[in-house]
Amino acid sequence: MKNTPNSIITSLTSDLAEPYLIVDMEFSSNTVRLTNLPYNITVSGNTYVSDGGLTKLAPPQLTAIADREVYRIELVDYSNEYQSYFDSGAIGTAVTVRLGIEGNTSDFDIVYKGRIDGATIETNPGENSKNALIECSSPFGALDRTTERLTDSATQKNINITDTCFDNIYNNTDETSLRWGKKP
């Protein structure tokens, strides 16, 4: 269930609401923080840059069928900053997009949280533009994926170091025979 803060709901229903978006992309070498506001903003000690190239956020379109629409982010990339992130392996990078109301930097509504599925650079010499196009996974994007889960102590310790449920799994592996049915 989605828990939108009451301050955002109240602001959005008023006539004076000025919503904005902040984006976190957690690349392996650096976390990129951007905003669509015309000025930089600081949230929880992190600065979100206004001229980091953010030009378009395109959320998935609502449809009546369960499809794999993607969340698209478009960034201007004249300095090749995003190209270097893409070259170092951007696929799988965590992305979070949050909605805020101008004047309030403490309450946010997460409008998207997922991972980068594809990243390309699009150059158009006729328009003198160079854009980084990022496609993020849709909520249905991972339905056909499988993950391996080993049932041994070491794997469980990676998930929770205090969990001991698999510590004795290989003990007492001798053959056991149980009598079943009536007594002989």
What is the Cα–Cα distance from 168 to 152, expressed in whole angstroms? 9
Query: Would 121 be classed as within a structural domain?
Result: yes
Domain containing residue 63: 6-146
Q: What are phi and psi of 133, to 5 degrees?
A: -110, 120
Q: What is the pLDDT of residue 64?
A: 52
The reply to whether 126 falls in a domain is: yes
- Asked whether residue 184 is assigned to any structural domain, the reply reads no
Residue 138 Cα distances to 8, 93, 167, 182, angstroms: 24, 14, 37, 57
Structural domain contains residue 170: no
Residue 183 lies in a domain: no
Kindly report the pTM of this predicted structure.
0.66
CATH number for the domain spanning 115: value is 2.40.10.10
In a domain, 39, yes or no: yes
Each residue's pLDDT expressed in tens, for the chain with a length of 184 residues: 567 777 777 777 777 778 888 999 998 888 989 998 888 999 989 999 988 778 887 776 555 555 556 788 888 887 788 888 888 888 888 889 888 888 777 888 888 888 888 888 888 888 777 888 888 876 555 555 566 667 778 878 777 888 888 887 766 666 667 777 777 6
Does residue 178 lie in a domain region?
no
Structural domain count, the chain: 1
Q: Is residue 162 part of a domain?
A: no
